Structure 1
Amino acid sequence: MSYRPSRRLRKIAVGGTAVGVLAGMNAPAIHGYSAAKYHEYKINQPGYKAEYGHWDRVEVPEEFRVNAIHAALLRTGKVLLIAGSGNDERNFKAKSFKSVLWDPAENTFREIGTPKDMFCAGHTQLADGTLLVAGGTARYEKLKEAVDRAGGAMLIKNEDPDKPRNFPKGTVFANNENGRSFRSEFAVNVPRAKKTADARTGEVTVTASEARVFVQSLVKGEKGIVNTAAQYEIQGLAGEDGENFYGLATKLGLDKKDFQGIRQAYEFDPVAERYVPVDPMNEARWYPTLVTLADGRVLSVSGLDDIGQVVPGKNEIYDPGTRRWTYTTERYFPTYPALFLMKGGKIFYSGANAGYGPADEGRVPGVWDLRTNRFTEVSGLKDAKDLETAGSVLLPPAQDQKVMVLGGGGVGESRSSTTRTAVVDLDAADPRYTPGPDLPEPTRYLNTVILPDDTLFTTGGSRDYRGRGGSDILRAQIYDPADNAFREAADPSVGRNYHSEALLLPDGRVAVFGSNPLFGDAADTKPGFFEQRIEVYTPPYRYRDSRPSLGAGPAAVRRGGTATYATAYAEHIETARLMRPSAVTHATDVEQRSIALDVEHGEGSVSVTVPEDPSIVPPGWYMLVVTDDEGTPSEARWVRVT
């Protein structure tokens, strides 16, 4: 990528003005220095850092460089980077699945044993500080030109009310009339048929059960295609089993085969630093969204299922107490929908999403009541067609109930993108989006991070789909909700688009990972490569002369309770926030939220009170941060809200 001077540099290095500025700064003369060298000099000046912040590259040993598809901050202060197969089919076929644990305080790394391909899974923070990871990849997509065997969904029926049955991967289904045979790609369990008796007559009715599995033809090419509905015998079954168990399928063709999801779920233990298997989901999911509810349970929605179709509204809830999943209210969303827990336990869908699904279904923002399944649409959004790959965030503090959407693009590989931002006040009688300030340029894949001083840091993205045409955007900005305006921040040096993520660290810095462009040059002639470099942004508040700090105090507090901490800065502390740690992927982070606490000052101490509303403060571990009268935040301390 060619060098592009920062916009701050361009502002001053024009004509003779640059000479005067340089003289005043006692800087080296421009003569003999390239623009890049001057830029490097300038961005490292104390005054520049104090106004715009600063970026640093993290030294990552080669053996720990991974394709970071997911990033989650754990209660230990470490960051879990999940690659799985890392969008590399060679890794998938070799069953090479990776996760790396990074300690940003010590800059140490550790590889974590990864049992399944968690590439494009969903994740959320649980009340006990573990990270729930659910779903991932069962099969990579195959474009039409690469599909050499007919295949698709086969329904396996069971008419036996007394016998469930498991069919292993490789089970063969044959139809003697059309001469076609198909082999299952995965194991599948078919439950027993349902038997009911009429209370009056005693007559017994048996209703067949069914389960679905992806199958492929035994032969290559067009000879395996079936375009009509047919019934298939299951090879190896005879007698009653042969009658009771059979397959049904309609079209089994050579069309494009999408990614397929898995049902497996795990809790990552941040202390033992390992994945612990839990009950699998009822539905296979690839690109699902997981969001924590007010009672600590977890809602899982959308994703591509075990035959590569968007899960048709079959949502489910995970109970950490039983480690089991149960179905809940049905509602359809495209993949990775941005869902936020709001007051009263309702869910707000900002309209932002990360991809798969038809352009005319599940794209409209709205408030979803899980209990009644009522969905109230929210209108007023400019460029509503450009919500795929958009960013969205619950603005700080969470009590204000305002959600912002930023940028985005058209459905699929559309070249469309937008500068639009908009804010909706969900406490209003009739919530509607109202325009916010425009982004500096049309942007997809924008990463947005809540800072502890109640501002938003936004960075990266690209104008076109997956950075096509060399369209990565090397700029960052800070949004202040109080002023409803952006201000400039230091420019990053690494482009970030698809499969990128950013999160807040306990010390107040922002770490940025990943990027998966289609191409490696602006002419789109070279294949892209996955960006494995890590950059860390240090905001301007870290360059002030002093910052407050918290001393001794409790590590846990109940909702509605008060906790007191020793501090030498008591009279200067103005605000306190609980910052929920991020779990982010595809520039989508529905976990992060900043919660305002009531503050009381004592002599040599400060007391903070946590709101009682569980829909504002879901149970879990939070970073407690206080800010002083200059808006400078302290380093966070971890507190568990019970």
Structure 2
Amino acid sequence: MKTPNPRAHFLNLLPLLVCMFGAIAQLGSWELLQENAGISAMHMALLSNGKVVMFDRTDFGKSNLSLPAGRCRSDPNELALTLDCTAHSAEYDPVANSVRPLFVQTDVWCSSGAIAPDGRLIQTGGFNDGDHVVRVFQPCDNCDWEEFPSGLAARRWYATNQILPDGRIIVIGGRRQYNYEFYPKSEMTAATFLFRFLAETKDANENNLYPFVHLSTDGNLFVFANNRSVLLDYGGNRIVKVFPTMPGGDPRNYPSSGSSTLLPLRISPELSAIPVEVLVCGGAPTGSYDQAREGQFVQALDTCGRIRITDPSPQWQIETMPVARVMGDMVLLPTGDVLIINGASAGTAGWEFGRNPVLSPVLYNPVAPSSARFRTLASTQVPRVYHSTAILLPDGRILVGGSNPHVYYNFSGVLFPTELRLESFSPPYLSPQFSRLRPNIIFPASNPATIRFGQQFQVRFSVESMVGAEGITVTMVAPSFTTHSFSMNQRLLVLQNTMLTVLSPNVYQANTVAPQSPLLAPPGYYLIFVVHQGVPSSAIWSRISA
């Protein structure tokens, strides 16, 4: 392996190391992007053109964003306005910092979604006349929603989606739906498949909604509902492993609304099998929903559970966050860290049920010693409670929006007004102090880059001050669909680098191996980042397939 000469970089290293130690105190920064985005971003998804689709629900009444050219939505089945000339979906362009209204016909309230292998956003279910609907959004400059009224076999409200290794989408659960189905349909998968685990884990209010679902590297699905979890063989419609109940016994899914993510998958030739770990953080104690209905707002949970689901006898390891949090969002950063953002420290999800907003995000480093994994970051001034969202952007910022705990849009005389502002949070790695360490990808030049499973490919990048070749990693991040404190399909892979080559002063090439199988990375679009000493580049898009 050819590496930079340490002597040649010595004069740069000393001030850089001083700068790095000084930057430990950096807490990140917030920026107001849109004072009025027009809608409250209850749901968000990043598309392969770098734009973000947002939507709330059609029965909120009028939004603050008009549909173009006098267009109006007419729906005799609507529960709010049967004639509505305002938008309830929008496309946000982070580069231009602009909002384009979109037209959605049926109610998308508390729905689910996933990015298909071809880049389309597949959005499923909702409420009222939208509960059986599949909606498709193609990423292009002037595209809008296309709706298929009978796309689902069952009513899906508060369901969860997951991309499968064959490119299909599985839709799991929803209110009073103890089953799953697939999209697109075939003769073999036109119906629903009973999943008794969802019926067994519901509480007295029939809640275990938006179950946490993660694709394991054996092709089975880890499914977590309230405080229990199983490994589901969806093809054979059978449970292949039952995990221990999460210690404490408190629920973590909606409306207790903790959050969960699959921790980074680290590909290494030394490992015969890649360990798979799941993190579940926050939520509300048992009974919090009923107590909130009586005006009693219980302190949220301050614990995280972490479990290695590929171990022969997996056990939960419990960790304590710096602050209790319900309705928080967990975002995988390109560095492999987890950002926990948004939410409240008391109450629960539901209309008017959250209290004491948590304004400071927390950074979780999964590879740090257990006593040093959490770090509190800079605070926002905008409370983000029920119906708030957060999503990773290609430049490494976090887009934050939403928060509306009211049945309609309500901007005055309430504890937490409907929130139409969009913000970005820049994690500490985007501090100007790190600009000399930040890589810039210059190859592949095509965007997206086409990659095959198991293919060795090159990533060429420049960096002003290289500290060391051992500090270079290449990561792949799947775009997620985010709503109600859960980012569906969120996935990060740390790729195997075989060699780093110096091409010219400040220009380097990493020889990198793509994931070997769709079990590791389902086919589709991914963001590729180069990370140098914990500082990521802006991403390029890639599309991986067989």
TM-score interval (norm. to shorter): 0.7 to 0.9
Residue 505 of structure 2 corresponds to residue 636 of structure 1? no
1-structure distance, mates of 2:57, 2:530? 37
Offset of residue 375 of structure 1: 5.2
Q: Which SS does the other structure have where 1:294 is aligned?
A: coil
**Pair 1:320–1:455, CA change in 2 (3 A):** farther
**Pair 1:49–1:426, CA change in 2 (3 A):** closer
1-structure distance, mates of 2:103, 2:435? 43
Offset of residue 331 of structure 1: 3.6
Query: 1:149-548 alignment to 2 at 5 Å?
Result: 262-271=131-140, 272-278=142-148, 280-304=151-175, 310-311=176-177, 313-319=178-184, 325-328=190-193, 330-333=195-198, 334-351=208-225, 364-370=228-234, 371-374=236-239, 376-379=241-244, 381-387=246-252, 388-397=256-265, 399-409=274-284, 410=286, 412-414=289-291, 415-416=297-298, 417-436=300-319, 438-462=320-344, 463-466=346-349, 468=353, 470-483=355-368, 484=370, 485-517=373-405, 526=414, 528-543=416-431, 544-546=434-436, 547-548=438-439
**Pair 1:528–1:345, CA change in 2 (3 A):** same
Residue 3 of structure 2 corresponds to residue 112 of structure 1? no
Decide whether the 8 Å contact of 2:59 with 2:79 is kept in 1: no
**Pair 1:93–1:326, CA change in 2 (3 A):** same
Q: Which SS does the other structure have where 1:58 is aligned?
A: strand
| Cα deviation digits, residues 121-176 of structure 1 (max 9, x gap) | 1101110011100101117xxxxxxxxxxxxxxxxxxxxxxxxxxxxxxxxxxxxx
1-structure distance, mates of 2:407, 2:54? 24
Offset of residue 104 of structure 1: 0.7
| Cα deviation digits, residues 576-627 of structure 1 (max 9, x gap) | 1100112100011121111111113234322221121312100110000011
Offset of residue 262 of structure 1: 1.6
1-structure distance, mates of 2:239, 2:462? 51
| Cα deviation digits, residues 268-304 of structure 1 (max 9, x gap) | 1012522223451011211111111111111111123
Decide whether the 8 Å contact of 1:99 with 1:114 is kept in 2: yes
User: Which of structures 1 and 2 has the larger relative contact order (alpha carbons within 8 angstroms, sep 6+)?
Assistant: 2
Q: Which runs of 4+ in 1 moved over 6 A?
A: 47-50, 320-324
Decide whether the 8 Å contact of 2:121 with 2:136 is kept in 1: yes
Offset of residue 482 of structure 1: 1.0
Q: Which SS does the other structure have where 2:430 is aligned?
A: helix
1:56 aligned partner: 31
2-structure distance, mates of 1:468, 1:106? 36
Residue 90 of structure 2 corresponds to residue 100 of structure 1? yes
| Cα deviation digits, residues 21-76 of structure 1 (max 9, x gap) | xxxxxxxxxxxxxxxxxxxxxxxxxx78961110111124x4x4102110000001
1:595 aligned partner: 493
Letter of the structure 2 residue corresponding to residue 108 of structure 1: S
Decide whether the 8 Å contact of 1:541 with 1:632 is kept in 2: yes
Decide whether the 8 Å contact of 2:257 with 2:348 is kept in 1: no
Q: Which moved more, 1:415-424 or 1:368-377?
A: 368-377
**Structure 2 alignment gaps of length 5 or more:** 1-21, 62-77, 199-207, 267-273, 292-296, 504-508
Letter of the structure 2 residue corresponding to residue 103 of structure 1: D
**Pair 1:491–1:325, CA change in 2 (3 A):** farther
**Pair 1:504–1:322, CA change in 2 (3 A):** farther
Letter of the structure 1 residue corresponding to residue 486 of structure 2: T
Offset of residue 329 of structure 1: 5.0
| Cα deviation digits, residues 547-590 of structure 1 (max 9, x gap) | 11111325110111122233234974611110011210001112
Count of aligned pairs between the two proteins:
453
**Structure 1 alignment gaps of length 5 or more:** 1-46, 140-260, 305-309, 353-362
**Pair 1:325–1:104, CA change in 2 (3 A):** farther
2-structure distance, mates of 1:369, 1:457? 30
1:565 aligned partner: 459
Decide whether the 8 Å contact of 1:421 with 1:439 is kept in 2: yes
2-structure distance, mates of 1:557, 1:336? 32
1:249 aligned partner: none
Offset of residue 450 of structure 1: 0.6
**Pair 1:525–1:536, CA change in 2 (3 A):** closer
Give 1 or 2 for the bigger CA radius of gyration: 1
Identical positions, percent = 26
RMSD: 2.8
Q: Which SS does the other structure have where 1:612 is aligned?
A: coil
Decide whether the 8 Å contact of 1:350 with 1:392 is kept in 2: no
Offset of residue 382 of structure 1: 2.5
Q: Which SS does the other structure have where 1:550 is aligned?
A: strand
**Pair 1:540–1:527, CA change in 2 (3 A):** closer
Q: Which SS does the other structure have where 2:283 is aligned?
A: coil
2:121 aligned partner: 131
1:585 aligned partner: 483
Decide whether the 8 Å contact of 1:550 with 1:565 is kept in 2: yes
Letter of the structure 1 residue corresponding to residue 357 of structure 2: D
Decide whether the 8 Å contact of 1:390 with 1:406 is kept in 2: yes
TM-score normalised to structure 1 length:
0.66
Letter of the structure 2 residue corresponding to residue 446 of structure 1: G
Letter of the structure 2 residue corresponding to residue 616 of structure 1: L
